Structure 1
Amino acid sequence: MADLSTQRPTLADVASAAGVSVSTASLAFSGAGPIAAATRTRVLEAASSLGYSGPNPLGRQLRRGRSGIVGVVVGDSLKRAFRDPVAVQMLDGLVGTLAPLDLGVLLIAGPSDPSEPPVDPLVESAAMDVAVLLWGGTSDDPVLTALRRRGVPAVLLEGTPQPDVTVVGIDDRGGMAQVTRHLVDLGHRRIATVTLPFDRDRAEGPADAARLRSLAWEITRRRLAGVRDTGVEPTVVWETPASLVEHGAAAGRALLSAPDRPTAVVCQSDLLASGVVLAAREIGLRVPEDVSVAGFDGLDLPWLAPDVLTTVEQPLARKGETVGHAVAQIIAGERPADTELPVVLRIGTTTGPAPA
């Protein structure tokens, strides 16, 4: 077997060719420390002639006590997560903030179904300077427990405030109260709600009292609390396994085919709400004349035309950027403050007066 050094030149090869020590050659690449311009030029010319592109950046980062990697725990299977524009826009804002800092991202998927372990092995073993949890869990989240055990600092998106974890969130409870109050002001009293998952079991269907008491995931809990803050007790709380159009459509078909169907459906995401709109069309109901539908996220959904969702708009890219800035502060040795970003009610064409 050929010697690897004959296939891939090393810094020592460059130093020998330039007639300098390895430490001097290293300084030529780092740009740090005292080195004559002529010497640096000689080293770089030797490197070019040998086809040497520079020291291994991972090795340099590890010597500084850093990996240069931010672990991003998605909290769901990637095939589901990347069908959700909310996750995509947030990741875009996060990665765009980290890239100028020379920080890479390691995407870590969540379990595809409840039978899989809740913690991916990468959470336990992968090199990372900071972890970002995109799905706000609970204080006893097993992923957080694993990260704490390793001593990896974390930024939690839309989770419960905790003394050792930075939380970046939005006023989703207030936003859900706004959109529900909008429906009440339009005269609606029979209001159903379609929710995000309750826990990693990802059940689907109407939630009874026992199931509601077991609700574990904070985002779902807060948004449901926002509905109830207005004095509304939903006629049905329909739990979905993921924020996808088909789950909203399944909920819509069930809710709107019932003899005592609601006059309004408020959903915890725009994809779920758009599914309810499609189900209403399929059944032959007019939106909003026969049923009003509202969502949450503020997505642009041109394929839903002519309807434009009434929704609560959240700053998705800014949320990702805020997470990125928190990561940068942690790497700099600071403790970022928790952040709550505002949301805005946006009235579309899918809500109107309650039918007589």
Structure 2
Amino acid sequence: MTRPRQTSKVTLRDVAARAGVSISTASLVFSGRGPVADATAARVRTAATDLGYAGPDPLASSLRQGRAGAVAVIVEERLRDAFRDPFALAVLDGLAQELDAMGTSMLLVADPGGDGANPVAGHAVDAAVFPLCGRTDSPLVDHLLARGIPIVGSGAPVHDAVGHVVVDEHGASAAATRHLLDLGHRRLAHVSMPLGRARPTHRVDAAELSGSVHPDARDRARGFVDTAPAGSPLVETERPDVAQGEAAGRLLLDVAAHERPTGIVAQSDLLAAGVIRAAEALGLRVPQDLSVTGFDAVDLPWLDRTLTTIEQPGEAKGRLLGELTRRRLAGEPATSEPFPVSLRVGDTTAPPP
């Protein structure tokens, strides 16, 4: 059988009338955001099929509400790199849960920077979120604010009009460093996420930290420098992944024994895992010969040990970003919320040999 050709557009009112329910009940069936009996929902869907109704027009809905129904989630790196990071995925998952509960969709935008392009210029959005480790300044901020779009971040970009979920990066890194000092370590080193432009993994001087464009990496490095013995070496990685952590580990560990650090504070769990790989390849045992700490406490099932790390629940952080976004969309001013983190002691740290 073929349906009769419609001479006018079928509306939700038509579907509700055919199903014998109110328009609000039919609307709940299509939005999936309210309690509707299974039998009633089935009757509404059958009516919609019979009438050839595909669902509410999202453009018409946004015009009625005066909103686009989407939030730009801006990742300041290639999406490929973000999707390889379990912490980044956890944050995005938590944020997506909150946006979904608000009835708002997520527009994922990659902004690696450097080419002058504006990836949000052609999109209608209600708010913008910078959920991951980003740059101090972003040219997108002025554009978004000029359009009256509220912005939420995770420490960056830095602007009075941006509300943030705030982690004490300095204090957390200092806590990991103090843990090693309390165990008796005196030869320490630090493996940092990128501090500025992407460059091959290399040693940096503490004086260079003031030029960092990534405030989270800078503050974690300063937490180490302010706590560790003077002159403790720092290595900046090109990317915060396992391969670059391994490169940094070799740079620090493939030296004479008396120059080798006995404890390394890494700025992420992936970097810490890379350092452990480098140590094992060089015949060093963790933690008997080398203690290693990470940051984030992500699940690394392929790592056959439990990292000593700074526990930063990514999903909960993402949900708090979503909550701040909800407040901004409700008209509240830009405010920041602290996000507590803590040291979790695992089996990758022990007294020095």
Q: Residue 79 of structure 2 aligns with which residue?
A: 78
- The number of residues matched between the two structures is 330
Q: Residue 281 of structure 1 aligns with which residue?
A: 280
Helix, strand or coil for the counterpart of 2:351?
coil
Q: Residue 126 of structure 1 aligns with which residue?
A: 123
Which digits, 9 at most, give the CA deviation of each residue in 1:269-293, with x for residues without a partner? 0000010001100110111121111
* Residues 35-50 of structure 1 aligned to structure 2 (within 5 Å): 48-50=49-51
CA distance in 1 between partners of 2:320 and 2:172 (Å): 19
Letter in 1 for 2:310: V
Which digits, 9 at most, give the CA deviation of each residue in 1:123-174, with x for residues without a partner? 2221111110123445532232332233221101123664211101222221
Which digits, 9 at most, give the CA deviation of each residue in 1:294-319, with x for residues without a partner? 111112223111x2211110121111
Change (3 A) 1:275 1:152: same
2:212 pairs with 1:215: yes
Given that residues 136 and 156 in structure 1 are in contact (C-alpha distance below 8 angstroms), is that contact kept between their aligned partners in structure 2?
A: no
Change (3 A) 1:244 1:55: same
Change (3 A) 1:28 1:318: closer
CA distance in 1 between partners of 2:85 and 2:6 (Å): 45
Q: TM-score, normalised by structure 2?
A: 0.84
63-72 vs 273-282, which deviates more? 63-72
Which digits, 9 at most, give the CA deviation of each residue in 1:19-73, with x for residues without a partner? 9xxxxx9889669xxxxxxxxxxx9997553211333023211332111101101
Q: Residue 354 of structure 1 aligns with which residue?
A: 352
Among residues 242, 247, 251, which one is paired with 2:248 in the alignment?
251
Q: Which runs of 5+ in 2 are unaligned?
A: 29-43
Helix, strand or coil for the counterpart of 1:246?
helix
2:311 pairs with 1:310: no
CA distance in 2 between partners of 1:216 and 1:274 (Å): 25
Given that residues 252 and 275 in structure 1 are in contact (C-alpha distance below 8 angstroms), is that contact kept between their aligned partners in structure 2?
A: yes
Which digits, 9 at most, give the CA deviation of each residue in 1:82-132, with x for residues without a partner? 110000111111111111211100111132xx7x4265x332221111110
Among residues 227, 239, 243, which one is paired with 2:224 in the alignment?
227
Given that residues 69 and 127 in structure 1 are in contact (C-alpha distance below 8 angstroms), is that contact kept between their aligned partners in structure 2?
A: yes
Letter in 1 for 2:317: K
CA distance in 1 between partners of 2:315 and 2:185 (Å): 33
Helix, strand or coil for the counterpart of 1:262?
coil
Given that residues 319 and 341 in structure 1 are in contact (C-alpha distance below 8 angstroms), is that contact kept between their aligned partners in structure 2?
A: yes
Given that residues 193 and 234 in structure 1 are in contact (C-alpha distance below 8 angstroms), is that contact kept between their aligned partners in structure 2?
A: no
Given that residues 132 and 154 in structure 2 are in contact (C-alpha distance below 8 angstroms), is that contact kept between their aligned partners in structure 1?
A: yes
328-337 vs 165-174, which deviates more? 328-337
2:194 pairs with 1:192: no
CA distance in 2 between partners of 1:328 and 1:48 (Å): 35
Q: Which runs of 5+ in 1 are unaligned?
A: 1-5, 20-24, 32-42
CA distance in 2 between partners of 1:224 and 1:8 (Å): 68
CA distance in 1 between partners of 2:48 and 2:299 (Å): 50
CA distance in 2 between partners of 1:27 and 1:350 (Å): 57
Q: TM-score, normalised by structure 1?
A: 0.83
Given that residues 160 and 167 in structure 1 are in contact (C-alpha distance below 8 angstroms), is that contact kept between their aligned partners in structure 2?
A: no
Letter in 2 for 1:278: R
Residue 189 of structure 1 deviates from its aligned partner by 1.6
CA distance in 2 between partners of 1:251 and 1:235 (Å): 14
